Amino acid sequence: FFAHMFFTILSFLLLCPGAWLATQPEGCITQQYVWNTGANANNSAELRAKLLKTYSKDNVPIATDYWGTLLPYPKGAIVNAQKNVTIHVEINNIYGIDTRTTSFWVDLDVVASWRDCGLAFSNIFTHKTGVVLQRWEPNSIWHPQLEDIDRRADLDVGPPSLTSFSEGIVVMRQRFKGKYACPMDLTALPYDTQTCVWGVTSAYPWAQVKVTEAEGEWRTDTSRIEEGIATHTFVRNARPTISLLRNLSNQEWDFADLSEWRVSHGHTSKLNSVYQWLASDPGQAASGLPDLFLYPIFRIHIPIRRRAYWYNINVVMPCLLVWLISYSSFYVSPEAVPARTALTVLPILILITIMGRAFGQLPVISTETWLTSYLAMLLALCVFNLLEYTMVHFSVARHLKVKKIKKDAVSKWRAAVKKCDGDASVVEVQSAENNTQEDEEHAGFSWAMDLHVKKVVLAEIVLSFLLKLDLYSRFVQPIILFIVSMIFYNGCVLDSCG
């Protein structure tokens, strides 16, 4: 009876391995009698040969059982199980953050770990040789083939290193060093905060490999190595997903605290044409085939804040001083044409030069920024000062002529009125027809003279107002600059510009 039951169960396991594996917990079976691979090996070379005898690097490993002993791993089989690859990132340095090219340089190590039960070996080998791990060539065993994304330039840092432990835990360390894209929103420049994103993806579809952040780390206990026992324990929350191997510093940017860094993981966009085409077919969508064209993505979001010192000292403050020079022209007499012209024209040229120097360090963009808007406002004030002096200078020259014209016009008008309204004893009596004609001529002349005088008086009022523009501008322009500056700084500096 027992023999019959044993062969029945064994046949079931061999014919339906998927159903058997579905009942197993995550991780390789930990019984010592199952892990007999490598028990009679004498060195690492023999152990590697025995492990690779039934191993296939072309398949995504399954972590639910040790296939090499109980259920031989079928080479060429397609595994429809999503493999979790946890990632820990060790950042060596971040430098070369360039606003003009919207890029930054990164030097980091990615430590990826997963469980591959096809590489598990017996603790008996560890007891005999004292070896608790095995090192592998990148092309000898399966690994997720991580590739960085948004790379613009890179340096050759060599292939990844692979290490496996007796329980089937595989740890891969791969270094990435290169120049990567960092799209920037320059609306709040120079008080802006940016987020540079570094990402990595796998060459395997998202349906087979899932790249996630590490929730802890593997620790090896060799306290019982003399008994042939070396245990590897995954300690959760032992360290964060990202660690800094040095304090990051930059002359232009401040890095946010590590606790503010963010990690995201998922898969590529579903908007690609192949996925859309397969997903539109109900039969293909139900089979899960479209997911083979989505690839896992792991990203690190690095918040950085610009140091505004350089822009404040070399751009904003000089521009304010240049405006002050232009503003001082209101206290110079309009008759001093050379001095007044120099105080209004030169600040405009200097502002244009400073703006060109500042904008030369920025990419060509078609959106407004805090800096461009503020400098444009200062330039507009300086241009207004030039136009204001042009009107004042014109008013000074015309005002004397208008006063003389007004005096002559009033004298002519009074003389004409006196002539037409002379003493009655001197005026001869004429016919009624002649009297009517003379009255009409007198009325027309009076109206014309009155209109001419009114025009002259109006011109004198306008010119008198223009002559007082200097006085008005002395008080109004600083108030305008103060109000606009408070609006700019209150919306950007005090509100942190987002």
Chain segment 454-489, per-residue pLDDT in tens: 665 566 666 677 778 888 888 999 999 999 888 888
In angstroms, the CA 291 to CA 69 distance is: 32
Q: Kindly tell me if the per-residue pLDDT of 345 is higher than 80.
A: yes
Total structural domains within the chain: 2
For residues 125 and 204, membership in a common domain is answered with yes
Could you tell me if residue 270 is inside a domain? yes
For residues 336 and 272, membership in a common domain is answered with no
Could you tell me if residue 1 is inside a domain? no
Any idea what DSSP says for residue 121? -
Coil, helix or strand at residue 244: strand
Which of 255, 275, 306 marks a domain boundary?
A: 306
Going by pLDDT thresholds of 50, 70 and 90, the confidence category of residue 177 is: very high
**Nearest 5°: phi and psi at 168?**
90, 10
Could you tell me if residue 235 is inside a domain? yes
Average pLDDT over residues 88-94: 93
Going by pLDDT thresholds of 50, 70 and 90, the confidence category of residue 35 is: very low
In angstroms, the CA 351 to CA 371 distance is: 13
Please indicate whether residue 408 or residue 449 has the higher confidence score (pLDDT).
Answer: 408
- Alpha helices, DSSP H, located in 167-308: 273-279, 282-287
For residues 56 and 183, membership in a common domain is answered with yes
Could you tell me if residue 214 is inside a domain? yes
Question: Tell me, what's the pLDDT at 417?
Answer: 59
Average pLDDT over residues 236-260: 82
Write the CA distances from 320 to 177, 180, 285, 348, 381, integer angstroms. Answer: 42, 37, 63, 12, 11
310 exposed, middle or buried (CB, 10 Å; 0-12, 13-18, 19+)? middle
Q: What is the CATH number of the domain that holds 389?
A: 1.20.58.390
Question: Tell me, what's the pLDDT at 427?
Answer: 44
User: Of the ranges 40-44, 309-313, 338-342, 454-458, which one carries the lowest mean pLDDT score?
Assistant: 454-458
Going by pLDDT thresholds of 50, 70 and 90, the confidence category of residue 209 is: confident
Could you tell me if residue 206 is inside a domain? yes
Question: Tell me, what's the pLDDT at 363?
Answer: 86
Q: Kindly tell me if the per-residue pLDDT of 38 is higher than 80.
A: no
Question: Tell me, what's the pLDDT at 304?
Answer: 96
Q: Kindly tell me if the per-residue pLDDT of 407 is higher than 50.
A: yes
Model-wide pTM > 0.75: no
Q: Which of 217, 219, 50, 234 is nearest to 124 (CA)?
A: 50
Could you tell me if residue 3 is inside a domain? no
Could you tell me if residue 246 is inside a domain? yes
Please indicate whether residue 265 or residue 446 has the higher confidence score (pLDDT).
Answer: 265
For residues 321 and 406, membership in a common domain is answered with yes
Could you tell me if residue 410 is inside a domain? yes
Other residues' Cβ atoms within 10 Å of the Cβ of residue 460? 16
For residues 126 and 55, membership in a common domain is answered with yes
**Nearest 5°: phi and psi at 460?**
-65, -35
Which of 264, 291, 306 marks a domain boundary?
A: 306
Coil, helix or strand at residue 474: helix
For residues 487 and 349, membership in a common domain is answered with yes
Question: Tell me, what's the pLDDT at 381?
Answer: 94
Which of 306, 326, 344 marks a domain boundary?
A: 306
Q: Kindly tell me if the per-residue pLDDT of 75 is higher than 50.
A: no
Going by pLDDT thresholds of 50, 70 and 90, the confidence category of residue 452 is: low
Q: Kindly tell me if the per-residue pLDDT of 7 is higher than 50.
A: no
Question: Tell me, what's the pLDDT at 124?
Answer: 65
Angle at 83 between CA 79 and CA 85, to 5 degrees: 150
Coil, helix or strand at residue 84: strand
In angstroms, the CA 366 to CA 293 distance is: 36
For residues 325 and 238, membership in a common domain is answered with no
Kindly report, residue by residue over 346-398, the tens digit of the pLDDT: 999 999 999 888 888 888 888 888 998 999 999 999 999 999 888 888 777 77
For residues 159 and 233, membership in a common domain is answered with yes
Q: Kindly tell me if the per-residue pLDDT of 14 is higher than 50.
A: no
User: What DSSP line would sit under 120-138, residue for residue?
Assistant: ---HHHHHHH---EEEE-T
Chain mean pLDDT for the chain: 74
For residues 328 and 215, membership in a common domain is answered with no
Q: What is the CATH number of the domain that holds 192?
A: 2.70.170.10
CB within 8 A of 373, min separation 6: which ones?
A: 488
Pairing mode, strands 169-181 and 262-267: unpaired
Angle at 208 between CA 202 and CA 210, to 5 degrees: 60
For residues 298 and 328, membership in a common domain is answered with no
HSE-CB at 227 with a 13 A cutoff on CA atoms is: 8
Give the max Cα distance, the chain. 162
In angstroms, the CA 108 to CA 199 distance is: 12
The residue whose two tokens read 């609006």 is 487
Q: Can you give the residue range of the structural domain that contains 196?
A: 29-306
Question: Tell me, what's the pLDDT at 487?
Answer: 86
- Amino acid at position 268, single letter: T
For residues 286 and 266, membership in a common domain is answered with yes
For residues 281 and 385, membership in a common domain is answered with no
Quick one: tokens of 69? Answer: 């002993």
